[in-house]
Amino acid sequence: MDEEVRGEDFRERLKERRRGKVDIRIGKKGVTESLLEEVRRRLEKQGVVKVKVLKSARAEPGFNREEFAEEVARAVGGVLREVKGYTFIIVKKDR
């Protein structure tokens, strides 16, 4: 979780995302290609994306929020920065 974009601008965007509203909600359809594309698009544009997993998406037995968040981050080419409850933050990889 520690390889991330650096810089003052990034820190401000991360702070804003932590306090701000959720960017993407994952619902009953789960993780679809269109959802991943939207996360990629926002990640490219903003550098930081806040995602929430709704109750309907975590209905399957044995759901693990950390593993789920890590899989989504990996699928979009980002880095998982933080997991709190069923909300997580993905940041753009430092290039």
Compute the chain's Rg from CA coordinates: 13
* Collapsed DSSP state (helix, strand, coil) of residue 39: helix
Tokens of 73: 């981050």
CATH number for 49:
3.30.110.60
Q: 1 pLDDT exceeds 50?
A: no
pLDDT band at 2 (very low <50, low <70, confident <90, very high): very low
C-alpha span between 55 and 95 (Å, rounded): 35
- In tens, the pLDDT along 14-32 reads 777 777 788 899 999 999 9
Range of the domain at 15: 1-92
pLDDT digits (tens, 9 = 90+) for 62-87: 899 999 999 999 999 999 999 999 99
Count up the domains in the chain and report the number. Answer: 1
Selection from 27, 6, 12 nearest residue 86 by Cα:
27
DSSP 8-state code for residue 35: H
